[in-house]
Amino acid sequence: MDYQVPLFKVGGILILKPLNQEELFFNLNPVNFFIISGLVQNLILSGILFFRHGNRPIANRMLSLTLMIVSLHLAYLMILDTNLDNMSPYLLWIPFSYLTALGPLIYFYAKALTNISFGWSKKSFWHFIPVTIETALQIFNIVYCIKHDQLFYNTPFYFYMAPMLYVWTAGSLLYYLNLSLGVIKSHENWALENFSNLKEITLVWLHKLIVHYRLLWMIWVPFVTIFLLFFRFQLQYLGIVLTLYLLLLAMTYLTFWIGLQGLVHANAITLKRNTRPRDNKNFGHLSQSQIQAYVKGFEALMSRDKAYLDENLSLTEFASLLNLDSNLVSYILNNHLKSNFHDFVNQYRIKEVKKRLTDPAYDNITLLGIALDSGFNSKTTFNRVFKKITGITPTEFQKMGKQDSTE
């Protein structure tokens, strides 16, 4: 076989030249070493997620497959970068790219994570038709290479196929990641309506990761597409080499971080979501005096009985204490108090914190201790809620109180 090898190769071919068997060499530098190390970690983490038992097995497996697909794609580039393709051309007889499945996998991961009753349906498999086509095209190209004794990436078919797949991947990821963000937003709104503390329910961490991941792929895919169409794997400029390496490192370790966060949050307590919409029209007949009576009941339960001190207080439990339908409580909060359940309860918690901070009896208790005793379950949540309601941080409020007392 007439091998070809680049004079300098990073994720592809720089300047092709004929290569004799004696000239084969293994190219391992510090950067691709770190990338390969990250890929190994991704594959190990993927296996842990796939076989992990928990209350979200489908979600774990969706995330596991996501890590696997990204790792395979980057492993293909590392095979080229280290010259393993020239040393063992048979490595390229394996389909490495399944990028068109990434978008649907992340979308279904978000859905499975937010709804414990999520399950597969026949319609779900329609989302994976593109990856079936992608795999078939790769197999066709591999067979062509074997018959014509060529390397996988040196065929004319590859230079047409790869850019099209990258462009499709970009559109697919943009579409499905936006859908995923919509699922998460819907979940967050539901959580605010039903829980006073969101520590083990919120998916803000996943929202941030998807936003960063979307940005990275929107940079990566156009770069690789242009790289294929106009540079044809020829890296003649240091800037392109550095950009490619930087993107490869970012892709490897951001993917690992997403998998790690998924593993950490896998056993978080997430309750079964009630997907049935509330029928607020059923309460439209209530008179103003009835509504005011309900509101006074809410305020009495919070002020007199201090129900907000229960860090796990939920809408269902709050309504149960009042012997009322939770839908009715939600209706009054949303339509007459202009508040969701989360903000309604935390207003009382902040008042309790402010009262204790100005009480000398609590001078020996730390700020965090006061926050926890007032119904909050984490420092992060307390700081965020305090700043949202008061406009200043707890520390700033504490300093202002000390200044007032000395004046």
- Where residue 396 sits, what CATH number does that domain have? 1.10.10
| Token pair listed for 227 | 């790289």
Domain with 122, as residue range(s), is 3-264
Domain check: are 239 and 172 in the same one?
yes
The rounded distance, in Å, linking the Cα atoms of 331 and 325 is 10
Residue 118 lies in a domain: yes
Domain check: are 132 and 197 in the same one?
yes
The rounded distance, in Å, linking the Cα atoms of 103 and 49 is 18
Residue 13 lies in a domain: yes
User: Pick the residue with more confidence: 282 or 132?
Assistant: 132
Which phi and psi angles does 217 have, rounded to 5°?
Answer: -70, -30
Q: Which of 42-51, 182-191, 268-277, 284-293 has the lowest mean pLDDT?
A: 268-277
Domain check: are 117 and 258 in the same one?
yes
Domain check: are 380 and 404 in the same one?
yes
- Per-residue pLDDT at 310: 92
In this predicted structure, the answer to whether residue 233 has a pLDDT above a threshold of 70 is no
Domain check: are 157 and 31 in the same one?
yes
Residue 269 lies in a domain: no
Strand-strand pairing, 3-6 and 16-19: antiparallel
Residue 207 lies in a domain: yes
pLDDT tens figures, 242-261: 888 899 999 999 999 999 99
**Mean pLDDT for the chain?**
83
Residue 355 lies in a domain: yes
Q: What angle do CA 62, 98, 74 make, to 5 degrees?
A: 95
- Per-residue pLDDT at 202: 86
Domain check: are 383 and 354 in the same one?
yes
Residue 276 lies in a domain: no
In this predicted structure, the answer to whether residue 212 has a pLDDT above a threshold of 90 is yes
- Per-residue pLDDT at 136: 92
Closest CA to 298 of 347, 249, 367: 347
| Token pair listed for 264 | 């950490």
In this predicted structure, the answer to whether residue 5 has a pLDDT above a threshold of 50 is no
Residue 274 lies in a domain: no
pLDDT class of 19 with cuts at 50, 70, 90:
very low
Which CATH number goes with the domain that contains 14? Answer: 1.20.1070
Final residue of a structural domain among 264, 297, 322: 264
Domain check: are 197 and 291 in the same one?
no
- CB neighbours (10 Å) of residue 330? 20
Domain check: are 304 and 357 in the same one?
no
Domain check: are 189 and 248 in the same one?
yes
User: Pick the residue with more confidence: 226 or 347?
Assistant: 347
Domain check: are 165 and 19 in the same one?
yes
Final residue of a structural domain among 220, 235, 264: 264
Residue type, 175: Y
Domain check: are 216 and 321 in the same one?
no
SS (H, E, C) the chain: CCEEEECCCCCCCCCEEEECHHHCCCCCCHHHHHHHHHHHHHHHHHHHHHHCCCCCHHHHHHHHHHHHHHHHHHHHHHHHHCCHHHHCHHHHHCCCCCHHHHHHHHHHHHHHHHCCCCCCCHHHHHCCHHHHHHHHHHHHHHHHHHHHCCCHHHCHHHHHHHHHHHHHHHHHHHHHHHHHHHHHHHHHHHHHHHECCCCCCCCHHHHHHHHHHHHHHHHHHHHHHHHHHHHCCCCCCHHHHHHHHHHHHHHHHHHHHHHHHHHHCCCCCCCCCCCCCCCHHHHCCCCHHHHHHHHHHHHHHHHCCCHHHCCCCEHHHHHHHHCCCHHHHHHHHHHCCCCCHHHHHHHHHHHHHHHHHCCHHHCCCCHHHHHHHCCCCCHHHHHHHHHHHHCCCHHHHHHHHHHHHHC
Q: What is the mean pLDDT of residues 89-117?
A: 89
The pTM assigned to this predicted structure is 0.83
- Per-residue pLDDT at 18: 42
Q: What is the mean pLDDT of residues 233-238?
A: 62
Domain check: are 394 and 322 in the same one?
no
Share of the chain above pLDDT 90, in %: 44
pLDDT class of 3 with cuts at 50, 70, 90:
very low
Final residue of a structural domain among 320, 338, 356: 338
**How many structural domains is the chain composed of?**
3
In this predicted structure, the answer to whether residue 227 has a pLDDT above a threshold of 80 is no
The rounded distance, in Å, linking the Cα atoms of 188 and 183 is 9
In this predicted structure, the answer to whether residue 293 has a pLDDT above a threshold of 50 is yes
pLDDT class of 237 with cuts at 50, 70, 90:
low
Residue 229 lies in a domain: yes
pLDDT class of 85 with cuts at 50, 70, 90:
confident
